Amino acid sequence: MRLALAQINTTVGDLDGNRERILARVAEAKEADADVVLFPELAVTGYPPEDLLLRPSFVQAAEESLALIARETRGVVAFVGTPHLDRDLYNVCAVCAAGEVKALYRKRFLPNYGVFDEHRYFAPGRDLFLLEHGNVLLGPTVCEDIWQPGPPATDLALAGAQLIVNISASPFHVGKEREREQMLQTRARDNVCYVAFVNAVGAQDELVFDGHSVVLDDEGEVLARAPGFEEALLVVDVEPEEAVGRRLRDVRRRSLESEREALPDIPVVHAGSPRPVAERVSGTVAPLLDELEQMRLALELGLRDYVDKNGFREVVVSVSGGIDSALTAALACEALGHERVHCVSMPSTFSSEGTRRDARLLTEGLGADFLELPIETLVESFLETLAVPFGGREPDLTEENLQARIRAVLLMALSNKFGWLVVAAGNKSELSVGYATLYGDMAGGFALLKDVFKTDVFRLAKYLNERAGRELIPESIIDRAPSAELRADQLDEDSLPPYPELDRVLEAYVELDQSREDLTGDGFDPEVVDRALAMIDRAEYKRRQAPPGVKLRPKAFGRDRRCACRVASHGGRRVCPAFDLGRPRRYAAGSGARVENPAGADPQPLRAGCDGTRALDHLRVHGLRRAGLDRVRDPAGRCRSRLDDVRDLVAAASAGGSSAGGRPGHAGRTELPGGGRRGTRDPGRDDGRARVPDSDRRGRLDAGVERLRGRTVLA
């Protein structure tokens, strides 16, 4: 049997374009004398179609597109991913042959974790069938179905399937292709089946699909593998009948059969016979890539597809002479071509001659367009306008963030005038701890390095230079200590722990969900842990407003990590900052307990005849009531949240330590450690860069709440 695996890059919602891509690969498969051609999951619509699936007209149009595809399948059998409506909506693998849709396999296991949300759209299928092609029985599955160690793969194998086909849209993270291939090898060995796995390639918003389609024999040996991060048609000849002999010698399969009360009754659909071929095709085995090359290709593919699929021609990047913007500009030039990239330098009074020179040198080396727009006069104009309300106050974080926001205004003006997409340059380390200016350097349509830690930014910059054989990114940029250059003699480490230490904490806390106790128990510096966790939790509201960016890590901000802005965890305690008025709000874990800033509680409409003071009291009592219901006291007298540690709470409850009637939040309240380096940031002055608590400000904020009590309308 000759298989063709069509690893294609589809676009969500582009039914006509996707159909053209599919039909072009069907024609190639026929020219290659393939018997069967496989296409990725939901190839007809693009993946993930999300709420387009809630539109009946779109689903109907997808059905019509599938019928047009099926007409062209005379002489070849095509497995095509598509949605299908039959009283409910299903994610199906359509088997097309002889000019029609022969059968539909409905995906059984619908992932609802991480970036997946398939229960929102699809119903799970239960029925199985085998496809008979000559002497070979093929069992179709869709993506998550083969990740499960039991059915449907085991049922198909017990029913006689010699080749398990899996059509997939498996999102990428670093190392995913090795994890996935190891899983497929296990399925092949356990079921004594050949496995043909076709994956999507390309990017949709923050998701990247890496391809790496693969065919394995029944012993888990790789027979053919497609390259990563590019479209391909992988053609290989296989002999699944060889699995029959090994099954006769494999007692595990007989043991599994004997444990079943009845073997699954699976219908068989005939789909044709193999065509004679003059010469055997062994197929190519593309090499797996190392970590940095995976990251480079994923970032470039993610940016290129986001730009092209959203109809942009060119992009603009703010180049400061720093490492983040340099890497962003270099990747953009590789992904799009230097002629589509515009680099803008916007120096201020605090920009050094070195960074101004490096910004120009970088752009010249990349061959991109360069524009310098000094902002000193704009900053002075803003400060002159604000002179009266700012009178008598010392310069602080406000003036720093003002520079970043002026730069954002200039970039957006260029974007509006010329149609350029603004590509933000912030990295995951800064985004994690809020060391970024909201509506400033966070502004943009796409955040390329959103899931790249700062330490990896340096690694990638050096890798690009090694790969290019020259200083694509000037060495002076790589060697310079990171600085936002928003005040004199500023360094990132004035406000943050050293990046190597910080990134290790971020990986453990954000991606591995370790608690403060886990981190300190594993040898992390408690001071670094406390500072990092406090900043991470307070910055959630910023991350909600960040543009999308390429997902590289197992858990990225956005679809992967969903946290409420107003309830954020700090080492088992829940803390949330005040955004405008009132003292910093503190909540128990759960639904917003322990409200110390009533104005910041859940927004509720005022009842008729209710003034603002009574409304504030109502919100406060409502929050305190929830706090009392959502806390227990452990035997040591500490107040713990229900979501902190289930095992501890069970032990506390069994000891009779309920605190529902006590003082909610009393023992569990704590001040966040501030850090204490020069240049630490004031929590109440701005919503810009990373902030630390300031207990001296609490009194002033108390007065703000008292003034609010005299009003009739909530701010």
pLDDT digits (tens, 9 = 90+) for 270-313: 988 877 777 888 889 999 999 999 999 999 999 999 999 999 99
Euclidean distance between CA atoms 590 and 568, whole angstroms = 10
Mark residue 523 as left, alpha or beta (left: phi above 0; alpha: psi -120 to 50; beta: remaining): left
Q: Residue 363 and residue 350: Cα distance in Å, rounded?
A: 21
Q: What is the pLDDT of residues 342-353, one digit of tens each?
A: 999 999 998 889
Q: What pLDDT score was predicted for residue 252?
A: 67
Specify the range with the lowest mean pLDDT, choosing from 206-210, 331-335, 430-434, 581-585.
581-585
The number of beta carbons lying within 10 Å of the beta carbon of residue 405 is 17
Given a cut of 90, whether residue 535 has pLDDT beyond it is no
**What is the arithmetic mean of pLDDT over 696-709?**
43
Whether the CA torsion 689, 694, 699, 702 is positive or negative: it is positive
The predicted-structure confidence for 122-179, as pLDDT tens digits, reads as follows: 999 999 999 999 889 999 999 999 999 989 999 999 898 999 999 999 999 999 999 9
Residue 322 · residue 480 · CB < 8 Å = yes
Phi, psi of 226 (to 5 degrees): -80, 155
Residues 6+ apart with CB under 8 A from 647: none
The Cα 594–Cα 629 span in angstroms is 11
* Torsion from C-alpha of 534, 540, 546, 551, nearest 10 degrees: 80
- pLDDT over 90 at 408, yes or no: yes
DSSP 3-state assignment of 269?
strand
Sheet holding 136-142, edge to edge: 222-225, 214-216, 194-199, 163-168, 136-142, 130-133, 268-270
* First-residue to last-residue Cα distance in the chain: 70
Residues in the chain: 715
H or E element that contains 167 = strand 163-168
What 93-96 contacts at long range (C-beta under 8 Å, 24+ apart), as own/partner pairs, is 93/41, 93/140, 93/141, 93/142, 93/165, 93/167, 94/66, 94/70, 95/131, 95/140, 95/269, 95/271, 96/66, 96/69, 96/70
Mean pLDDT over 536-554 rounds to: 91
CB 445 within 8 A of CB 546: no
542 among known catalytic residues: no
Strand locations in 384-473 (E): 421-424, 446-447
**Residue 632: φ, ψ to 5°:** -130, 160
Q: Within 10 A of 309 (CB to CB), how many other CB atoms are there?
A: 20
> Any idea which residue has 């699909």 for tokens?
209
Structure confidence by residue, pLDDT tens digits, 70-95: 999 999 999 999 999 999 999 999 99
Summary mean pLDDT of the chain: 81
- Alpha helices, DSSP H, located in 515-596: 516-521, 526-538, 540-543
Of 434, 384, 391, the residue nearest 579 (C-alpha)? 434
Q: What is the pLDDT of residue 634?
A: 40
pLDDT digits (tens, 9 = 90+) for 309-336: 999 999 999 999 999 999 999 999 999 9
Say if pTM beats, i.e. exceeds, 0.85.
Answer: no
What are the beta bridge partners of residue 343?
317, 370
Query: Other CB atoms closer than 10 Å to residue 466's CB: what's the count?
Result: 11
Min mean pLDDT across 393-402, 487-496, 673-682 is at 673-682
Q: Could you say which of 102, 107, 428, 551 is catalytic? A: 107
- Predicted confidence (pLDDT) per residue in 216-232, tens digit: 999 999 999 999 999 99
DSSP track, 367-379: T-EEEE---HHHH
Which pLDDT score is estimated for 345?
96
Give the per-residue pLDDT at 676: 37
Q: What residues pair up with 269 in beta bridges, in sequence order? A: 131
Residue 452 CA to residue 431 CA, distance in Å, equals: 10
Whole-number pLDDT of residue 566: 53
| pLDDT for res 483 | 83
Q: pLDDT higher for 420 or 488? A: 420
Q: Which of 93, 96, 143, 193 is catalytic?
A: 143
Nearest to 328 by CA among 282, 280, 296: 296
Contact 95, 104 (CB under 8 A): yes
Nearest to 49 by CA among 20, 73, 76, 81: 81
Mean pLDDT, rounded, for 561-566: 73
For range 392-415, the mean pLDDT = 94
Q: Rounded to whole angstroms, how far apart are CA atoms 573 and 427?
A: 27
Tell me if residue 158 falls in helix, strand or coil: helix
pLDDT score, position 257: 67
107 has catalytic annotation: yes
Q: What integer pLDDT is reported at residue 254 of this predicted model?
A: 66
Determine which of 317-326, 525-534, 593-602, 609-618 has the lowest per-residue pLDDT on average.
Answer: 593-602
Mode of pairing for the β-strands spanning 214-216 and 222-225? antiparallel
- 435: Cβ–Cβ under 8 A, 6 or more apart, which residues? 429, 492, 495, 496, 535, 689, 690
What sign does the CA torsion over 560, 566, 529, 493 have?
positive
Is-catalytic flag, 527?
no
The helix or strand, by DSSP H or E, that contains position 187, with its residue range, turns out to be helix 176-191
Q: Residue 641 pLDDT > 60, yes or no? A: no
56 vs 648, higher pLDDT: 56
pLDDT confidence of residue 560: 80
The pairing of strands 341-345 and 369-372 is parallel
Name the β-bridge partners of 317. 343
Q: Could you tell me which of 401, 353, 256 has the C-alpha nearest to residue 691?
A: 401
CA angle 508, 509, 512 (to 5 degrees): 55
| 32 burial via Cβ count (<10 Å: 0-12, 13-18, 19+) | middle
Q: What are phi and psi of 583, to 5 degrees?
A: -70, 165
574: Cβ–Cβ under 8 A, 6 or more apart, which residues? 567, 568, 586, 587, 588, 589, 593, 594, 641
